[in-house]
Amino acid sequence: MSRDDELRDFLEEGNQVVLLDEFVVECFKSGRPYQMLYRNLEILRQHPQLVVVPYSRGELVRRELENGLRTSSDEVVCHEYTETLRYLLSLNEEQLKDELVEHEPKAQGLIEDNNEFSEDYIRCLAAKAGQLDMREYHHDKEKLQADIAWVVIDVVKALLERDCKNRYEIDDFIQNKSMLFIVTYAHLWKVVQWRLNHGYQQSKKIPNDGFDLKYTALSCYFDGILTSEKWLSECRDSILSHYNR
């Protein structure tokens, strides 16, 4: 959201923007959260009808595990969150600051929770990645994607068996888009990339990458992802390739 001109042009062309519910939270990761948020909101408030907000990654995964049903495309957008953001867009700067002061403690707590989840989950998946032979993957992208999917299927089956109390169709979670599969794939894909390049233990960006992986996962339910980070698009393409075979 820091590339102002690109975001402005994108909206002026009539494109819809999907913002995570952590849109406000992300700004508190910067040294000047209010300035960043005001700048971004000033662009968005010119096109409020083009802005929608989905449920969080965690909410969608928990719902899948509880109900035994994968998330369909028309279940991703949360109308309550969307209306809340559009309300923020209607406020003047002073009113907005009052709202954000109330949000700041919650935002800091969510940042800490994200960091803890990212580190724990990624280190757990790193153990799974130990089943993969890294030497084969530098020049064989198709094998890399196939083997990542193989491990992800194993993880998804285990999570459903452990946490889902209702009846479910495992093939539906694997062959069609499900947030559980997509989130697991995105994290494992990133773990493998770290191992191929520097080793995940050396990465100081684990918490930040955790936020980016949320964007990547949710973008798989929409037309694309607006980013200058090449690896996010590559991760998204790898996920979607699983469904396009």
> How much of the chain is in helix, strand and coil states, percent to nearest 5?
70, 0, 25
Residue-level pLDDT at 65:
95
pLDDT computed for residue 1 by the predictor: 45
Give the whole-angstrom CA distance, residue 179 versus residue 32: 33
Per-residue model confidence (pLDDT) at position 117: 64
List of residues 6+ apart from 97 with CB closer than 8 A: 34
Give me the residues of the chain with pLDDT under 50, please: 1-2
Predicted confidence at residue 196, as pLDDT, reads 74
In the prediction, which pLDDT does 191 show?
A: 83
Could you say which DSSP state residue 30 is in?
S
Place of tokens 């949000």: 103
**The pLDDT of residue 205:** 64
**CB within 8 A of 7, min separation 6: which ones?**
1, 17, 40, 43, 226
What was the pLDDT predicted at 7?
82
What pTM was computed for the model?
A: 0.85
pLDDT of the residue at 153: 94
Measured distance CA(221)–CA(87) in Å, rounded = 25
Maximal C-alpha separation, the chain: 57
How many other CB atoms sit within 10 Å of the CB of residue 231? 14
Length in residues, the chain: 245
CB 41 within 8 A of CB 4: no
**Radius of gyration in angstroms for the set of CA atoms belonging to the chain, rounded to a whole number:** 19
Instruction: Give the integer Cα–Cα distance in Å for 15 and 51.
Output: 9
Sign of the Cα torsion 142, 144, 147, 153 reads negative
- The token duo for 42 is 């000033």
**pLDDT tens per residue across span 169-210:** 999 999 999 999 999 999 889 888 877 776 656 555 666 677
